Chain A
Amino acid sequence: MTDTSSTPPETGFKGGVRQSMSWLHTWVGLVLGVVLYFMFITGTAGYFNAEITRWMEGTPSVSTATVSDRQMIEMGLAVLERELPEASYWGLELPGNARVTDGTIRVMGTPLDENAEFSDLHIDPTNGEIVLPRDDLRQTGGGDALYAMHYALHYMPEITAMYIVGVATMFMLVAIITGIIVHKKFFKDMFTFRPGKGQRSWLDAHNLSSVLTLPFILMITYSGLILYTYQYMPSVRAALYGGPMLDSTEPLAEHDAANAKFDQELAVASENQQFYELVADGKPATLAAFGPVVDEVEKAWGPNQIGWFEIMHPHDTAGVITAWTKASETFDYDILYFDSETGTQLVEGNTVTPNEVGDVLVNLHYGMFAKPLLRWFYFLSGLAGAAMIATGLVLWTTKRRQALRRDQLPDFGLRFIERLNAGVIVGLPVGVLAYFWANRLIPPQMEGRADWETNALFITWGLMLVHAALRRADRVWIDQLALAAAMSALVPVVGALTTDVNLVQSLVAGDWVLAGFDLTMLGFAVAFGLTASKLWRRPAVLRAEKTASIKRTPTMEPAE
């Protein structure tokens, strides 16, 4: 290998440790920035996936009435006893948990007869009657389709996406670690922001968004890997339990023999096998009265805290009743277990296994336990993560612009990344807005409308990339930001014109899910609009950046 560099002793690939890691940090960010930005934006939307789905279905709540847990469980069990007496599983999902529903009680079940099918039922909690399948709901991919893109991407087999996402996530972890290595003024950076100073401001913005949200970003990246850890890193389990070392044929098959054996041993190790080996023993038993069980739960949690109420094997001596909280203050749902025959509480083992640490990380990733305030923090942290990637991408181009000599023209790579940045950083949010618009504008009866919502996202995003490639350089960002502002401001209007719900009506009815969506869109409109007008009002600065090589000498970072 030839080395033409004349710099003093180089120990590594790109100089010393810090230079090598700085180069790696920049290279990873540049190569995977777009995928990671896409994952952060769509994944962040996922913290409100159920809320987004409700809005996209476009109907008011069946009920916003408050009925006690006890009454709702009574109604649900009565319906199950009547509709599905022979079951291996009964489950009730009560309104008000993290999975926002339209105010109904969701009733689920698994028939004993494996060939029989039982689809979900919904009950109106005000009268206990089954709500007929609603034909006024818009067929939609909803928040779930948006959120699924952050791990399954789109237009490709799930396995391909899984590996792309895996590699991207692993290198995200590498980018975080290298970012910490090249950084040494952690606390100073937390309070450092020098706006309006070109490259230095972008560096500050990148540092600020990284350092402030580092705990979140580290957690979300590591736990993202843990979510698929036995698919990406199947070798240890394969070596100790058998099974393929590279589990590529059936990456999501979770019930192969090796896995089952592993799961069973995990349950034994954590002394919780009674909750895992939930195999019916075939001896019929009468289900315990639910009243005393609810009493016990309310003694532990207070009234009306139940989010899910489930019974494995309701009419078998091996049955277990499980109650989950709606949300919790800890990093996991609170769960209570009861024997389904006697109604006595079953106590969990208190041996903590490494796997349970992994489970906590996975719960942290989902954030399903979070109450509304914490959920908003999740959402904002996710956006800050996206901002960290965006500022890093912009920093790369700004730095190279300012380094150009007077007589130098930017090379293709720099111009390409500059325009790509605009088309991705603002273009993708415009695409997401198009997803919401498409939901309202595509006729409710159209075949395959859910697919077209998603197509609208990617077509619009593609148009934004084309626009970014062709438009005058100093107008690209302004155009797209203004479009994003207009589109988000008009979401509530388009919604009001095309559905039976509107912002005013939702506010009056106290339907905070629907109203919250519209208000959030208005908030985004303000943010996009302010950014656009700021860029618009400072043409001098833009021009200065365009001809940075003439007006400024390349600046080094201040000596440290």
Chain B
Amino acid sequence: MKEVSLDAAAPRRSGKSRSLTPGYRLEILSRSIVAIVGGFVATSAICIAVALVLSKSDLMPRAAATSLTTLISWIIWSCVAMWAFYERRLWRLALQLGGVTAAFAALSLALL
């Protein structure tokens, strides 16, 4: 990977940024909503599925599985938030995140 310094992008984009169009702002807003709301839904689906797998397979008591997944949910949520600002195309982001959420939700429903 090309080495890029922390500041590489800034000096080139001097003065008023050309990219601050309404469309750009809408995209940032959409990505924020995906990070927060989508992040919550996806993280919930993943954590519920993992908690159900852990408790149904008797790996740990139900209470321990619940607290473990709730405690680590923040790492998952943060990663989803970063992903929301990494994936280049918004529609692909929505599709991927929706797919992951649906898969884990299906697994949870099967286990409930």
Instruction: Choose from B9, B14, B48, B61 the contact partner of A235 (Cβ within 8 Å).
Output: B48
B47 proximity list for chain A (CB < 8 A): 233, 235-236
Also in contact, A554 and B11, with CB within 8 A (given A222-B74, A229-B70, A235-B48): yes
Interface positions of B (Cβ within 8 A of A) = 1-11, 13-16, 27-28, 31, 36, 40, 43-44, 47-48, 51-52, 55, 60-71, 73-74, 77-78, 81-82, 85-90, 108, 112
Also in contact, A262 and B81, with CB within 8 A (given A17-B1, A17-B86, A403-B14): no
Contact with B along A539-560 (1 / 0, CB 8 A): 0000000000000001111011
* Contact (Cβ within 8 A) A353 B63: yes
Give the distance in Å from the alpha carbon of A178 to the alpha carbon of B65 in the complex.
28
* Contact (Cβ within 8 A) B82 A269: no
The 10 tightest CB contacts between A and B, nearest first, are A265-B63, A235-B44, A354-B68, A355-B67, A557-B5, A411-B16, A266-B63, A403-B11, A269-B61, A239-B48
Would you give the shortest CB distance from A219 to chain B, in whole angstroms? 13
* Stretch binding the partner chain, chosen from A5-13, A51-59, A138-146: A5-13
B43 proximity list for chain A (CB < 8 A): 233
* Contact (Cβ within 8 A) A554 B88: no
Which chain B residue shows the least CB distance to A166?
A: B36
Interface positions of A (Cβ within 8 A of B) = 1, 10-24, 27, 167, 170-171, 173-174, 177-178, 182-183, 203, 222, 225-226, 229-230, 233, 235-237, 239-241, 245, 262, 265-266, 268-269, 353-355, 357-358, 399-400, 402-405, 408, 411, 413, 554-557, 559-560
Which chain B residue shows the least CB distance to A25?
A: B6
* Contact (Cβ within 8 A) A399 B82: no
Beyond the given pairs A236-B73, A262-B66, 8 more chain A to chain B contacts, judged by CB atoms under 8 angstroms and listed by A's residue number, are A174-B82, A203-B7, A233-B40, A235-B47, A239-B48, A240-B52, A403-B14, A556-B7
B108 proximity list for chain A (CB < 8 A): 239
* Contact (Cβ within 8 A) B66 A237: yes
A167 proximity list for chain B (CB < 8 A): 36
Instruction: Choose from A10, A177, A230 the contact partner of B88 (Cβ within 8 Å).
Output: A10
Instruction: Choose from B27, B63, B74 the contact partner of A262 (Cβ within 8 Å).
Output: B63
- A and B contact pairs by CB, cutoff 8 A, 7 listed: A13-B88, A16-B4, A171-B81, A229-B74, A269-B63, A556-B5, A557-B7
Also in contact, A11 and B88, with CB within 8 A (given A239-B112, A403-B10): yes
Would you give the shortest CB distance from A25 to chain B, in whole angstroms? 8
Secondary structure class of chain A's binding surface, majority of residues: helix
* Contact (Cβ within 8 A) A236 B78: no
* Contact (Cβ within 8 A) A357 B71: yes
* Contact (Cβ within 8 A) B85 A24: yes
B1 proximity list for chain A (CB < 8 A): 16-18
Also in contact, A174 and B5, with CB within 8 A (given A21-B86, A236-B51, A400-B10): no
Also in contact, A399 and B7, with CB within 8 A (given A13-B86, A226-B71): yes
Most chain B beta-carbon neighbours within 10 Å: one of A23, A235, A262, A555: A235
Give the distance in Å from the alpha carbon of A183 to the alpha carbon of B67 in the complex.
32
Most chain A beta-carbon neighbours within 10 Å: one of B6, B7, B11: B6
Which chain A residue shows the least CB distance to B108?
A: A239
B63 proximity list for chain A (CB < 8 A): 262, 265-266, 268-269, 353, 355
A358 proximity list for chain B (CB < 8 A): 67, 71
Give the distance in Å from the alpha carbon of A357 to the alpha carbon of B70 in the complex.
12
Give the distance in Å from the alpha carbon of A42 to the alpha carbon of B10 in the complex.
32
Also in contact, A19 and B67, with CB within 8 A (given A170-B77, A399-B10): no
B88 proximity list for chain A (CB < 8 A): 10-13
* Contact (Cβ within 8 A) A266 B67: yes
Would you give the shortest CB distance from B67 to chain A, in whole angstroms? 4
B66 proximity list for chain A (CB < 8 A): 236-237, 240-241, 262
* Contact (Cβ within 8 A) B8 A557: yes
* Contact (Cβ within 8 A) A173 B90: no
* Contact (Cβ within 8 A) A237 B70: yes
Give the distance in Å from the alpha carbon of A439 to the alpha carbon of B84 in the complex.
46
A183 proximity list for chain B (CB < 8 A): 6
* Contact (Cβ within 8 A) B85 A265: no
* Contact (Cβ within 8 A) B64 A355: yes
A557 proximity list for chain B (CB < 8 A): 5-8
Which chain A residue shows the least CB distance to B1?
A: A16
Would you give the shortest CB distance from A353 to chain B, in whole angstroms? 5
Would you give the shortest CB distance from B31 to chain A, in whole angstroms? 8
* Contact (Cβ within 8 A) B9 A15: yes
